[in-house]
Amino acid sequence: MTMLEILEKKKLGKALNREEICFFARSAAEKSVPDYQLAAMLMAIRLQGMTDEETAELTMAMRDSGHVADLRSIPGVKVDKHSTGGVGDTTTLVLAPLVAACGAPVAKMSGRGLGHTGGTLDKMESIPGLRVGLTEEEFLRQVREIGVAVVGQTGSLAPADKVLYALRDVTSTVDSIPLIVSSILSKKLAAGSDAIVLDVKTGSGAIMRDLDSSIRLAENLVRVATLAGKPTVALISGMDQPLGTHVGNALEVREAIDILSGRTKGDLKEVSLTLGGYMLLLAGKAKTHGEAVAMLEEALESGAGLKKLAQMIAAQGGDPRVCEDVDLLPQAPVQKQIFCARSGYVSKMDTAALGMAAQSMGAGRLRAEDPIDFSVGFVLQVRIGDRVTPDTPFCVLHARTEEDANRAEAAIRKAVCFSEQPCERAKNFLALVTKDGITRMD
């Protein structure tokens, strides 16, 4: 068997068997064939597609290309949550401690931000002293002892994906659904979870900009995960505006703590409770989603969720006092309040552009090795559908310099559109996808 033979078969639109798919994934992980053959194979898959069975085999082969975490020493059903990426999406830092406080273990491996999307690890590292690079033994022990850990993925996790992802980025094959599915699920399955809740974003700040494409991606993710033996549900959530009001690493941690402290409500809280409810449902901790959400709300009101976050921070070497005093988080030297300076209604946002505005301030990175400034970002004080006047607070900028603040102000104003006529508020959820079908919520 050669890579050329496999490539020829897929080029003609024929389905590949397990042995051929494993050869492809193994060749990528070991870099035993030239990049140009791997790239040609990616394009053949992009143009010819893959069956569900092929996609499942590719997912499993990519999972098995490296180390697979063994979470069996942790009692209970381990449920993972994955988001396809967005702006102001701090759900993990809200729902992980809440779900753990309700008795379901959360053993989560997360990633860093790149481009306009934020990364959970970067947000966590804005907490003084906190480390995300735990050994597997430390990771397992922490979940057994306190019920929750959020750490970085090791380099040995699904190495085939690392190689293929980099090639997809430079070969215009990023939008291939079989390749997206296998990339996401290979890492989730390698992380050792028993069940998965997927948050598939749609809108101006998402990979999939339109609802139909997002639903199609979610269907494929659920089908393949189910074929792999993992109970999975996917929710399609809106990314036509930042999920939270805070954008930037320390700022997003501050908002998560404010929610767990009961000081803040809003869309981030609603989405976190909804996703967390499905995690508890799959973990067998509740019989209905409504019952699960009620459990989370009780953990929120009692302070158990905030206490669990403080325990996790302390266990990973961070300063748990941030849960009582958010001013201990990094703070930017320049903080500037700006106003709407016009009347009307907030009608639309370019969420990707808002994410890039924060990135250009130093909150994100264009390349994986770029440094970031934990303190910078902004707090957006308007939502789609709001009526505003010239003196309505628009945004608080947190910047390194006045020049950075002025550039960010121009970019943010350009990304937010107004109209003279009232408009509907953006919906948080548009569909639920399970193995039994699609429930539209739009």
Question: CATH code at 408?
Answer: 3.90.1170.30
In this predicted structure, what is the pLDDT of residue 368?
Answer: 64
| Residue 431: inside a domain | no
Asked whether the whole model's pTM tops 0.75, one would answer: yes
| Residue 61: inside a domain | yes
Domain boundary among 170, 188, 206: 188
Residues 46 and 107 in one domain: no
Extended beta strands in 125-166, E state: 148-152
Most confident by average pLDDT, 212-216, 225-229, 388-392: 388-392
The CA distance from 107 to 109, in Å, is 7
Q: How many domains does the chain have?
A: 3
Average pLDDT over residues 394-405: 98
Q: Is 82 a catalytic residue?
A: yes
* 89, two tokens: 């999406």
| Residue 436: inside a domain | no
Domain boundary among 277, 292, 324: 324
User: Residue 300 — pLDDT band, cuts 50, 70, 90?
Assistant: very high
In this predicted structure, what is the pLDDT of residue 381?
Answer: 98
Residues 245 and 384 in one domain: no
68-82, 146-160, 405-419: least confidently modelled range: 146-160
In this predicted structure, what is the pLDDT of residue 115?
Answer: 63
Residues 249 and 125 in one domain: yes
111 pLDDT more than 80: no
In this predicted structure, what is the pLDDT of residue 302?
Answer: 98
346 pLDDT more than 70: yes
Residues 278 and 194 in one domain: yes
Residues 48 and 140 in one domain: no
- Only one residue has tokens 């003196």, namely 391
Query: CB neighbours (10 Å) of residue 30?
Result: 12
Q: Residue 399 in contact with residue 406, Cβ under 8 Å?
A: no
19 pLDDT more than 90: yes
Q: Is 342 a catalytic residue?
A: no
Q: CATH no. for residue 106?
A: 3.40.1030.10
154 pLDDT more than 80: no
If 0-12 CB within 10 Å is exposed, 13-18 middle and 19+ buried, where does residue 165 land?
middle
282 pLDDT more than 90: yes
Percent of the chain scoring above 90 in pLDDT: 86
User: Residue 347 — pLDDT band, cuts 50, 70, 90?
Assistant: very high
Q: Is 168 a catalytic residue?
A: yes
The CA distance from 433 to 199, in Å, is 10
Average pLDDT over residues 156-175: 88
Residues 275 and 372 in one domain: no
Residues 50 and 134 in one domain: no
Residues 135 and 252 in one domain: yes
User: Residue 172 — pLDDT band, cuts 50, 70, 90?
Assistant: confident
Percent of the chain scoring above 70 in pLDDT: 98
Catalytic option among 162, 187, 201, 269: 187
The CA distance from 331 to 42, in Å, is 44
User: Residue 407 — pLDDT band, cuts 50, 70, 90?
Assistant: very high
Average pLDDT over residues 300-314: 98
Catalytic option among 78, 82, 201, 230: 82
| Residue 425: inside a domain | no
Q: Is 214 a catalytic residue?
A: no
Residues 211 and 238 in one domain: yes
Q: What is the mean pLDDT of the chain?
A: 94
Q: Please write the tens of the pLDDT for every residue from 114-139.
A: 667 778 999 999 999 999 999 989 99
| Residue 433: inside a domain | no
Mutual orientation of helices 211-227 and 177-190 as an angle, nearest 10°? 50
Catalytic option among 108, 168, 188, 308: 168
Average pLDDT over residues 203-219: 91
| Residue 435: inside a domain | no
Residues 150 and 162 in one domain: no
169 pLDDT more than 80: no
In this predicted structure, what is the pLDDT of residue 208?
Answer: 84
| Residue 256: inside a domain | yes
Average pLDDT over residues 219-248: 95
Q: Is 285 a catalytic residue?
A: no
In this predicted structure, what is the pLDDT of residue 207?
Answer: 81
User: Residue 220 — pLDDT band, cuts 50, 70, 90?
Assistant: very high
In this predicted structure, what is the pLDDT of residue 119?
Answer: 85
Q: CATH no. for residue 33?
A: 1.20.970.10
Average pLDDT over residues 224-253: 95
Q: Residue 95 in contact with residue 308, Cβ under 8 Å?
A: no
Domain boundary among 303, 324, 345: 324
β-strands 195-202, 232-238 pairing: parallel
Residues 175 and 149 in one domain: no
Give the structural domain span for 352: 331-419
In this predicted structure, what is the pLDDT of residue 46?
Answer: 96
15 pLDDT more than 70: yes
Residues 167 and 195 in one domain: no
User: Residue 163 — pLDDT band, cuts 50, 70, 90?
Assistant: very high
| Residue 245: inside a domain | yes
Catalytic option among 122, 161, 194, 258: 161
Tell me the C-alpha to C-alpha distance, in Å, between residue 59 and each of 13, 181, 227: 19, 8, 10
